[in-house]
A = this chain, B = another copy of it.
Amino acid sequence: MEDKVFVFTIGTAGSGKSYFTSSFSDYLDFKKIDHAIVNLDPGADFLPYEPDVDVREWITVDDVMEKYNVGPNGAQIVSADLIATKAEDILDELDLYSADYVLVDTPGQMELFTLRSSSEIIIQTFGRQNCVSVFLFDPVISQRASGFTSMVFMYSSAVMRLNIPQIPVLSKADLLPEHDVKRILTWSRDTDALYDDVSKEKGLSRDLFHLLREAGLIRPLIPVSAKTGEGMDDVYDIVQEIYYGGEDLESMRF
């Protein structure tokens, strides 16, 4: 398995994880790059792709609700925790595929994966050095400067917790007017601009933003669109850089 690269898709509920996975798979198809898709979301209702390995073979939120007699909240937690017990089975199934890339779609709520220990067990089992993640900034939340900053903190939380290189992207860029995309990308590159716009929404210290920049929390975003395929090549190039090029891994981790 040493030569497989696992690309996790991480993001808050509704940020477009499954559509990104689908579109990135189409891109790899187009490039004729062997890959497989793993669905790790036991609560997925509908997937816009055909998973090669699907954790729902073993665990579904509906089954957990029935079997453990818990409601939807509890069942999501239990089933997200249970997926860790299937990490080895997933690897075994992946052995059937000659895939250089494995795209891993994660559970609907970000905190069910990143904050709970299942993510740690899965990354450990897959091999930490083979894992990278694409973190999706929700476009609607990122439209306002304070929402964008809030996403920066969510992203930082995932970086700190997962301890694998993470690529921050602006998801569903096609949904937003072009000038909104431009403004968000500017915020991700220019903390002064971000500060100016946040301070129009609320009173905040300029120092905070300088320090966030100094701390490396705010990093340039790549705009992507599952609909138009925009940005898939950029994401692919960065993944390649991380594994085969000279990309400084520490800079992807803080």
Copy count, this protein chain? 2
Quick one: CB contact mask for A74-111 with B, threshold 8 Å, 1 for yes?
11110000000000000000000000000000001111
A224 to chain B, nearest CB (A): 19
CB neighbours (8 Å) of A127 from chain B are none
Contact with B along A199-216 (1 / 0, CB 8 A): 000111101100110111
Residue from the list B108, B141, B161 in contact with A115, Cβ < 8 A = B141
Give the residue of B111, B141, B154, B214 whose beta carbon is less than 8 angstroms from that of A211. Answer: B214
Question: Does B203 contact A250, Cβ atoms closer than 8 Å?
Answer: yes
Q: Which residue of B lies closest to A216 (CB)?
A: B208
A153 in contact (CB, < 8 A): yes
Asked whether A13 lies within 8 Å of B76 as measured between CB atoms, the reply is yes
Contact B204 A215 (CB under 8 A): no
Taking the complex as formed, is A156 at the interface, i.e. its CB lies under 8 A from any CB of chain B? Answer: yes
* Least CB separation from A205: chain B residue: B254
Q: In this complex, which of A13, A41, A114, A160 has the most chain B Cβ atoms within 10 angstroms of its Cβ?
A: A160
Q: Which residues in B have their C-beta under 8 angstroms from that of A253?
A: 202-204
Specify the chain B residue showing the minimal Cβ separation from A79.
Answer: B72
Q: How many residues in A have their beta carbons less than 8 Å from beta carbons of B? A: 55
Asked whether A12 is an interface residue with its Cβ less than 8 Å from the other chain, the reply is: yes
| Contact for A72 among B72, B149, B154, CB less than 8 A | B72
A186 within 8 A of B: no
Residues of B within 8 A of A70 (CB): 45
Q: Which of B75, B138, B153 contacts A154 (CB 8 A)?
A: B153
Determine whether A150 belongs to the interface, using a CB cutoff of 8 Å to chain B.
yes
Bound CA span A160–B254, Å: 21
**Contact, CB under 8 Å: A13 / B112:** yes
A52-72 interface with B by 8 A CB criterion: 61-62, 65, 70-72
Asked whether, in the complex, the Cβ of A163 is within 8 Å of the Cβ of B13, the reply is no
- Asked whether A44 is an interface residue with its Cβ less than 8 Å from the other chain, the reply is yes
Query: Which chain B residues lie closer than 8 Å to A250 at the CB level?
Result: 203, 205
Contact A77 B150 (CB under 8 A): no
Chain A residues at the B interface, C-beta cutoff of 8 Å: 12-14, 41, 43-46, 61-62, 65, 70-77, 108-112, 114-115, 138, 141, 146-147, 149-151, 153-154, 156-158, 160-161, 163, 202-205, 207-208, 211-212, 214-216, 250, 253-254
